[in-house]
Amino acid sequence: MAAALRHRGPDGEGFFTGTGPRLRVFLGHLRLAIFDPSAAARQPMTDASGRYTIIFNGAIYNYVELLGELGLAGGRSDTTALLAAWAAWGPGCLLRCNGMFAFALWDAREQALYLGRDRFGEKPLYYSTAVTSPFAAGPTRLVFASEIKALLASGLVAAQPDPQALAEFLATRDIDHHPERTLFRGIAQVPPGCYLRLDSRAVPQLVRYYHLAPPPDPRARRPLDADLVEEARALLADSVRLRLRGDAALGGSLSGGLDSSLVTVLAVGAAPSYRIFVSEFRDAREAGDESAWAEQVIASLPVPAAAVVRSRPRASDFAADLESVLYHQEAPFGDTSVCAHFALMRAVAGSGVRVLLSGQGGDEVFGGYGSYYYALLGWLLRQGRVAELGHEVRARLALAADRPLRLVLGAAYHALPAGLRQRAYARRVQAEFPLSPTGERLWRSAPPRFLAGLPALCQGPAARWPRFDAYLMDSVARYALPHILRHDDRNSMAFGIESRAPYLDHRLLELMLGTDPRARIGDGYTKRLLRAVARDLLPEPVRLRVDKRGFFSPQRDWLLGSRELVLDHLSAPPPELRELCNLPALQRTVADFYASGEPRLGGTVWAGLVASIWLTRTVPRLGR
């Protein structure tokens, strides 16, 4: 199992066996030495009393402050801080930690194992109780790891794809929207903001330690004013400062969008040796390359040319990398941008940088997606604030940031009562892939993707949550952030890089929930507050961009240049894919794509290709 995770921890390994009258525990750890690379910080780590032993992946950014509070000032290890904090405060210590983490902690006195995960799921933690074990005593048997490949490497868990989860991916190109499910039968995740407690007397007990509370009085939320802008700027700057800690070379990815640009400016000001990494696709035939925006930001900064590294992946790199990306991701993914990101991480590793800051989470925390604008309009419509609604529609159209019909339909949809909205969605949504009757049935019978009540992250009755905020929380907990974080973690850790996200400091999200929706979105702009924070820090064209894009890759070009690979897989798909797809319709789509080059058809071609490679190459490799 440890050997399967060598890429996550190339700097050392350690093992521990805990035995008692009721439970036996085996722990293995692969080390990525970012805080205190000396032997004093190696893991597994046991406290002085001998009661607690921990293995831990991630970073506790405020470890200096925690050690000081515990009377251990001068320590250099965040693992020491987490272990001492647990010994002092128990599971309550997790609410004092500012960081990303997945850990296993053995309490020898209680004869209990705790598996915990950070608030928003930046670090992964998988487990299975579908275990046939020759060595585990008692009724409870559990195997866990940071990646699924280690569970399968144990020989105790079978590599069995879940056809319903795969049908969902084909239909929507989404995964990770169910907090506990995976694409493998019998393998689950510890949900973000939770820990699992295991002893020999019962099945594992899942405990949620972190909730987000609704605003106490939605009518009294903070407007966009100078005080709010200053507080948000100070919090973001402090989040960046904390995430620059460590004993390793530092850098950050820069796309040219608002989120990564602002992090870059703040990081360069705090760490002069900071390096900047940019992906370029200037020769792509399809529009989307953002490197010119990134160059505007770089030109405004006091950084030498040698501090900037540019990644320029080509179609040949995409084809050569695809199986490796799938092996590390362990699941099919929605588009080829994940492959471009993998190439960027390779460039980061080649430069010697081991800690990388990113703009991940900025859209979810500060309100950056276009659909949020429709949610704002629906909120205003339901409240009868017609004048403000008209102002927002006019402002959005004046920026040419949306089409009139979409604004009208979006506002009407979000103003509907919840039951009607659910029915309207169910009527509107169609599979983006030609499914067979079996595939259609499995997809339609899956748990609802939208409007399935509040995410577990949200505390209290749904009636106390303003609909606008509940919609944004869905993107944090279910429909946007989880798969983004998985892509980022697997690609960075494939090269032994620790990726950190300043926007996912919990203090920022908690501040946002106390603000008026129009402080976050308004006057035609998404991320209104963040744009105010960025005033005088970014070039104005970058600060005021309204052409929202995800991480770009020339998917159409890459697929057109990989015709032989596509035909090889989709002319005779594996049985699991044939059962779920309407094969004649899929093959017609492939032929039409190569005849027309239509990007929309390329999305279907990609879903079929990546699912086929996953089934025929990745799953058997993981199972070995």
Of the candidates 366, 362, 367, 370, which has an alpha carbon nearest to the alpha carbon of residue 396?
Answer: 370
260 and 159 co-located in one domain:
no
- Decide: 602 and 289 in contact? Cβ < 8 Å: no
**33 — pLDDT class (breaks 50, 70, 90):** very high
Same domain, 491 and 598: no
Average pLDDT, integer, range 430-447? 89
Q: What is the mean pLDDT of residues 218-227?
A: 90
Domain-embedded: residue 550: no
Compute the average pLDDT of residues 260-278. Answer: 96
**Is the confidence at residue 136, as pLDDT, over 90?**
no
Q: If you average pLDDT over residues 62-85, what whole number do you get?
A: 94
Strand-pair category, 112-117 with 275-279: unpaired
pLDDT of 46 above 90: yes
CA–CA dist 584, 21 (Å, integer): 60
- Which residues have CB under 8 Å from 307's CB, separation 6+? 273, 274, 275, 276
Report phi then psi at 26, rounded to 5: -120, 125
Return the structure tokens found at 278: 């940019």
Residue 169 lies in a domain: no
Which has more confidence, 275 or 432?
A: 275
Domain that holds residue 294: 219-365+482-543
Q: Which residues contact 124 (CB under 8 A, 6 or more apart)?
A: 102, 117, 146, 147, 189, 486, 489
Measured between alpha carbons, how far is 338 from 550 in angstroms, rounded to an integer?
11
Q: Do 157 and 55 sit in the same domain of this protein?
A: yes
Residue-level pLDDT at 446: 75
Asked whether residue 555 carries a pLDDT value surpassing 90, the answer given is yes
Q: Indicate the range of 54-63, 210-219, 226-235, 524-533 predicted with least confidence.
A: 210-219
Q: What's the CA gap between 337 and 346, in Å, rounded?
A: 14
- Which pLDDT band, with edges at 50, 70 and 90, does 451 fall under? low
CA–CA dist 92, 364 (Å, integer): 26
Residue 615 has pLDDT above 70, yes or no: yes
Does 334 fall in a domain?
A: yes
Asked whether the predicted pLDDT for residue 149 surpasses 80, the reply is: yes
**Shared domain check, 436 and 308:** no
Asked if the model's pLDDT at residue 134 lies above 60, the reply is: no
Same domain, residue pair 491 and 355: yes
Question: What six digits make up the tokens of 503?
Answer: 């926007």
pLDDT in tens, 358-390: 999 999 999 999 999 999 999 999 999 999 999
Q: Which run of H or of E encompasses 286?
A: none
Q: What is the mean pLDDT of residues 116-126?
A: 97
What pLDDT, on the 0 to 100 scale, is given for residue 426? 72
Q: Give, for 360, the enclosing helix (H) or strand (E).
A: none
When pLDDT is averaged across residues 225-239 and rounded to a whole number, the result is: 98
Q: Which of 286, 294, 333 is nearest to 310 (CA)?
A: 294
Confidence tier at 450 by pLDDT (50, 70, 90): low
**Residue 106: which pLDDT band, with cuts at 50, 70 and 90?**
very high
Q: Over 90: is that where the pLDDT of 28 sits?
A: yes
Flag whether pLDDT at 620 surpasses 60: yes
Residue 217 has pLDDT above 90, yes or no: no
What confidence tens digit (pLDDT) does each residue in 169-183 have?
999 888 887 888 899
- Whether residue 437 has a cis bond before it, omega within 30° of 0: no
End-to-end CA, the chain:
12
- The whole-angstrom separation of Cα 359 and Cα 264 is 9
| Residue 449 pLDDT grade (very low, low, confident, very high; cuts 50, 70, 90) | low
Stretch 119-127: mean pLDDT: 97
**CATH number (domain holding residue 318):** 3.40.50.620
Residue 452: pLDDT over 80: no
Are residues 456 and 492 part of one domain? no
Mean of per-residue pLDDT scores for the chain: 92
**Residue 171: inside a domain:** no
Note the pLDDT of residue 287: 63
Are 585 and 314 in contact by the 8 Å Cβ rule? The answer is no
Residue 88 lies in a domain: yes
**409 Cα distance to chain centroid:** 29
Residues contacting 329, CB < 8 A, separation 6+: 338, 486, 487, 490, 491
pTM confidence score: 0.95
Residue 213 lies in a domain: no
Question: At residue 185, does pLDDT exceed 90?
Answer: yes
CA pseudo-torsion sign 29, 31, 34, 35: positive
Are 238 and 349 part of one and the same domain? Answer: yes
Same domain, 359 and 376: no
Claim to verify: residue 204 and residue 227 sit in the same structural domain = no
How many folded domains does the chain comprise? 4
pLDDT at residue 7 greater than cutoff 90: yes
Identify whether residues 272 and 399 lie together within a single domain: no
Is 430 a domain residue?
A: yes
Helix (H, G, I), strand (E, B) or coil at 367: coil
Helix (H, G, I), strand (E, B) or coil at 541: helix
What is the tens place of the pLDDT at every residue in 404-419?
999 999 999 999 887 7
Q: Per-residue pLDDT for 448 more than 70?
A: no
Is the pLDDT confidence value at 202 over 80? no
pLDDT at 439: 95
Return the pLDDT at 561: 93
- Tell me, what CATH number does 64's domain have? 3.60.20.10
Look at residues 437, 467, 497 and tell me which one is the last residue of a structural domain. 467
Give the percent of the chain with pLDDT over 90: 79
Q: At what angle do helices 163-172 and 599-613 cross, to 10 degrees?
A: 160
pLDDT score at 568: 95
Domain boundary among 417, 440, 467: 467
Is 306 in the same domain as 389? no
Among 543, 576, 591, which residue terminates a domain?
A: 543
Lookup result for tokens 């993107």: 475
- Rounded Cα distance between 407 and 410, Å, is 5
Give yes or no: residues 108 and 154 share one domain: yes
Residue 72: helix, strand or coil by DSSP? coil
Tell me the average pLDDT across 296-314. 93
3-state secondary structure 117-167: ECCCCCCCCEEECCCCCCCCCCCCCCEEECCHHHHHHCCCCCCCECHHHHH
Has residue 350 got a pLDDT over 70? yes
Q: Where are the alpha helices (DSSP H) in 148-290?
A: 148-153, 163-172, 226-243, 258-270
461: pLDDT confidence band, cut at 50, 70 and 90? confident
172 within some domain: no
- pLDDT at residue 67 above 60? yes
- Residues 474-513: pLDDT tens digits? 899 988 999 999 999 999 999 999 999 999 999 999 999 9
- Give residues with Cβ within 8 angstroms of 384, minimum separation 6: none
pLDDT of residue 286: 67
